[in-house]
């Protein structure tokens, strides 16, 4: 049948399916929205500085490109928990590289760790304890599942991201008194949005509280291999029976669009891996077969892949510290990041000048910075902060990863000149912040 034969159909009527009650709460995830905004503006020829979206920009290592080509003939459904060869490679890799005793865990592969986080939230009963600030998707996922959220604040400083263990215990006990049922906590380190990590000794005491109170720890370690002092800590070392780990290749191998997530599921929790496998079977079924085959190569310890990860991490470290120091020189308070590729500056020092310019919330701050300085940043509210807390998340990835990696591997030194030559948007972003701060202060003093 030709297309135009359909044209005499009835006039289109508006469809009125009933949407779930909470539908209006769900918006495009803020980080993806930032990406789409920049793409739209750049398509119109406008210059935009993309300090909002956290996407590691480095190229796909040649070995993985070749492996994907070689696996292109694979077309079968794979087991719901993932390709056996990949799961074994992942298990050996983490055993060798980290303090994780992988023998105590089953591995599951999913299309992104985001879905494993969602499936874990679905599988484990009870309210979710969520430290603030936290990554953008944990709370919306909990809301989709009608799970209650119990917030606890984290303290941020140059030593890291701190959650007071006694406050955690008090929060759990108080919640129980109020008839709530705290059942799980999500920890994320190195952390998005702050770039900070939870010190190892603090992981140990947090683990103790969670074990004593029988809380499942969902440990989001997606940035675990982008750790600037090259030490991978996992809370699972202290609570192997109570920790499920999520990770993947989206960050340290810049493969977000390949959609591969990895879960380490404690064997001690009877039935959890089976439940996740059932959820997978009724939803994503399995991750694409060629992709699973190809990423197996990423977990075999090949020297070229390991060097690639090391080089990318060194560049992330440099760019993150460069932005951090640049902001500090402007008077902004921001702890030095320890991993990932983010900074979480606090503009509280400018509060009264900002207020005189009508800016009282982090959202208003990001709006002005976008409108008048052409720079996308994300407001603290996207990460659970109260509206009047003047924090922003700044991602230090707006450069061409192929150019930058090549320059670094060719022996160029990571310094100011390197940024000017190879990553000019990073320098322009700092300039835009300088201009913004000057303008705000000037406008306030002339009021």
Quick check: 54 binds ligand PLP (CB under 6 A)?
A: yes
Tokens of 298: 């990423």
d(CA 103, CA 86): 15
Q: Could you please report the per-residue DSSP string of 360-377? A: -SHHHHHHHHHHHH-EE-
Quick check: 192 binds ligand PLP (CB under 6 A)?
A: yes
Q: Which of 115, 176, 173, 124 is nearest to 147 (CA)?
A: 124
Quick check: 135 binds ligand PLP (CB under 6 A)?
A: yes
Run of H or E including 294: helix 289-296
Residue 433 to residues 243, 308, 394, Cα–Cα distance (Å): 40, 32, 11
Quick check: 114 binds ligand PLP (CB under 6 A)?
A: yes
Run of H or E including 276: helix 272-282
Quick check: 344 binds ligand PLP (CB under 6 A)?
A: no
- Minimal distance in Å, beta carbon 437 to ligand PLP? 28
Q: Cβ closer to ligand PLP: 59 or 374?
A: 59
How many CB atoms neighbour CB 43 within 10 A?
Answer: 8
- Minimal distance in Å, beta carbon 421 to ligand PLP? 29
For tokens 């997978």, name the residue. 280
d(CA 395, CA 373): 16
Quick check: 250 binds ligand PLP (CB under 6 A)?
A: yes
Q: Cβ closer to ligand PLP: 55 or 362?
A: 55
The residue range among 111-119, 167-175, 383-391, 392-400 that interacts with ligand PLP, by the rule CB under 6 A, is: 111-119
Count, residues near ligand PLP per rule CB under 6 A: 13
3-class SS at 346? strand
> Which of 34, 38, 198, 222 touches ligand PLP (CB under 6 A)?
222
Quick check: 113 binds ligand PLP (CB under 6 A)?
A: yes
Quick check: 140 binds ligand PLP (CB under 6 A)?
A: no
- Minimal distance in Å, beta carbon 395 to ligand PLP? 10
Quick check: 266 binds ligand PLP (CB under 6 A)?
A: no
d(CA 297, CA 61): 11
Contact predicate 161/191, CB 8 Å: yes
Ordered alpha helix ranges (H), 2-156: 30-43, 62-70, 84-97, 113-123, 138-144
The residue range among 9-17, 99-107, 108-116, 208-216 that interacts with ligand PLP, by the rule CB under 6 A, is: 108-116
Quick check: 261 binds ligand PLP (CB under 6 A)?
A: yes
Contact predicate 295/249, CB 8 Å: yes
Question: Which residues, 348 to 407, sit near ligand PLP by CB under 6 A?
Answer: none
- Minimal distance in Å, beta carbon 247 to ligand PLP? 8
d(CA 64, CA 98): 23
Q: Cβ closer to ligand PLP: 79 or 256?
A: 256
Quick check: 197 binds ligand PLP (CB under 6 A)?
A: no
Question: Which residues, 64 to 83, sit near ligand PLP by CB under 6 A?
Answer: none
Q: Cβ closer to ligand PLP: 192 or 296?
A: 192
Quick check: 234 binds ligand PLP (CB under 6 A)?
A: no
Contact predicate 437/330, CB 8 Å: yes
Contacts with ligand PLP, residue ranges (CB under 6 A): 54, 112-114, 135, 188, 192, 220, 222, 248, 250, 256, 261
């Amino acid at each position: 049948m030709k297309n135009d034969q359909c044209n005499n159909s009835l006039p289109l009527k508006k469809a009125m399916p009933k949407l779930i009650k909470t539908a209006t709460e769900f918006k495009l995830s803020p980080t993806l929205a930032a990406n789409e905004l920049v793409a739209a503006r750049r398509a119109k020829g406008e210059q935009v500085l993309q300090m909002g979206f956290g996407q590691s920009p480095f190229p796909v290592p040649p070995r993985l490109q070749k492996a994907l080509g070689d696996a292109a003939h694979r077309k079968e459904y794979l087991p719901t928990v993932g390709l056996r060869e990949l799961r074994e490679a992942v298990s050996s890799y983490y055993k060798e590289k980290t303090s994780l005793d992988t023998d105590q865990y089953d591995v599951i592969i999913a299309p992104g760790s985001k879905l494993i986080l969602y499936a874990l939230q679905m599988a484990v009963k009870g309210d979710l304890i969520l430290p603030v600030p936290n990554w953008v998707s944990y709370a919306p996922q909990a809301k989709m599942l009608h799970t209650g959220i119990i917030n606890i604040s984290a303290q941020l400083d140059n030593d890291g991201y701190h959650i007071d263990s006694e406050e955690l215990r008090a929060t759990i006990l108080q919640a129980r008194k109020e008839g709530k049922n705290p059942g799980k906590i999500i920890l994320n380190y190195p952390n998005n949005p702050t770039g900070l990590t939870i010190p190892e000794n603090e992981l140990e005491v947090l683990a103790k509280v969670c074990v004593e109170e029988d809380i499942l720890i969902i440990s989001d370690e997606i940035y675990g291999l982008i750790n600037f002092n090259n030490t991978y800590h996992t809370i699972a070392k202290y609570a192997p029976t109570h920790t499920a780990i999520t990770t993947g290749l989206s960050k340290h191998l810049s493969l977000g669009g390949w959609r591969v997530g990895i879960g380490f599921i404690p064997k001690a929790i009877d039935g959890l891996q089976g439940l996740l496998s059932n959820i997978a079977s009724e939803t994503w079924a399995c991750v694409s077969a060629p992709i699973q085959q190809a990423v197996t190569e990423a977990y075999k310890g090949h020297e070229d892949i390991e060097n690639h990860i090391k080089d990318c991490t060194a560049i992330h470290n440099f760019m993150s510290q460069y932005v951090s120091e640049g902001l500090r020189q402007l008077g902004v308070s921001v702890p030095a990041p320890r991993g990932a590729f983010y900074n979480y500056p606090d503009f509280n020092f400018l509060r009264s000048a900002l207020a005189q310019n009508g800016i009282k919330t982090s959202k208003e701050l990001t709006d002005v910075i976008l409108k008048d300085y052409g720079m996308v940043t994300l407001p603290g509210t996207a990460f659970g902060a109260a509206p009047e807390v003047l924090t922003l998340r700044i991602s230090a990835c707006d450069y061409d990863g192929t150019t930058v990696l090549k320059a670094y591997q060719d022996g160029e030194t990571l310094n100011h000149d390197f940024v000017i030559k190879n990553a000019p948007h990073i320098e322009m972003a700092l300039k835009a912040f300088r201009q913004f701060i000057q303008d705000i202060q000037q406008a306030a003093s002339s009021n």
